[in-house]
């Protein structure tokens, strides 16, 4: 249940790391730090998206790393994008969960990073799809690798969609903060 506006709310203090972590996905902050505003629901969705992005991004990284490189192909770009976005999304998550994002520049940086990540993942998904299509002729010898490439293509497009949705949520937060 959300605290009422008349309830005794904490003032001039920020939640500790453990309180932030505990209430990360809570529907409402019972300590009264944020209340039950639309921006709080956006923060919840944002944190959920960050966790899902880390899981699916790590899955893309694993799928691409487990395939055999049969010919000289541009899968290095796919690996770079998946590792880069995985590391930076993890750092981004830690910054937001620790509460170090109190400056007014963070909503802008959030929009820029997630838009750039969506663009990078889209380009990586197209490259991965091209490689998978070009390897179709050797599927009889390398059927398992072909299946892994197909799964990597699907996951690349899923992660692209998730980064794009996260960029939309970040843009909504950016617009509401300015």
pLDDT by residue (tens digit) across 42-81? 667 667 777 888 888 888 877 777 777 666 668 888 888 9
- The pLDDT score that the predictor gives to residue 39 is 62
- The pLDDT score that the predictor gives to residue 143 is 82
- The pLDDT score that the predictor gives to residue 11 is 44
- Highest mean pLDDT (candidates 9-13, 146-150, 156-160): 156-160
**Helix, coil or strand: residue 128:** helix
d(CA 160, CA 19): 31
- The pLDDT score that the predictor gives to residue 120 is 94
Q: What letter would DSSP give residue 105?
A: T
Average pLDDT for residues 135-142, to the nearest whole number? 74
Q: What letter would DSSP give residue 138?
A: G
Query: Which of 41, 84, 74 minimizes the C-alpha distance to 92?
Result: 84
pLDDT tens digits, 33-50: 455 566 666 667 667 777
Assign 160 a pLDDT band (cuts: 50, 70, 90). very high
Kindly state the tokens that stand for 117: 């990540």
Query: Which of 81, 66, 97 minimizes the C-alpha distance to 159?
Result: 81
- The pLDDT score that the predictor gives to residue 125 is 92
d(CA 50, CA 25): 12
- The pLDDT score that the predictor gives to residue 31 is 45
């Amino acid at each position: 249940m959300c605290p009422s506006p008349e309830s005794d709310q904490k003032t001039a203090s920020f939640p500790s790391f453990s309180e932030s972590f505990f209430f990360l996905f809570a529907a409402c902050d019972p300590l009264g730090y944020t209340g039950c505003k639309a921006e709080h629901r956006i923060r919840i969705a944002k944190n959920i998206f960050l966790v899902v992005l880390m899981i699916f991004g790590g899955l893309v990284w694993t799928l691409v790393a487990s395939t055999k490189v049969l010919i000289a192909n541009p899968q290095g770009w796919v690996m770079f994008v998946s590792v880069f976005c995985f590391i930076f999304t993890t750092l981004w998550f830690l910054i937001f969960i620790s509460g170090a994002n109190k400056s007014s520049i963070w909503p802008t940086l959030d929009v820029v990073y997630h838009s750039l990540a969506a663009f990078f993942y889209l380009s990586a998904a197209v490259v991965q799809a091209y490689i998978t299509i070009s390897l179709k002729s050797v599927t009889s010898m390398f059927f398992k690798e072909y299946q892994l490439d197909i799964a990597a293509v699907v996951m690349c497009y899923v992660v692209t969609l998730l980064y794009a949705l996260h960029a939309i949520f970040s843009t909504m937060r950016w617009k509401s903060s300015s």
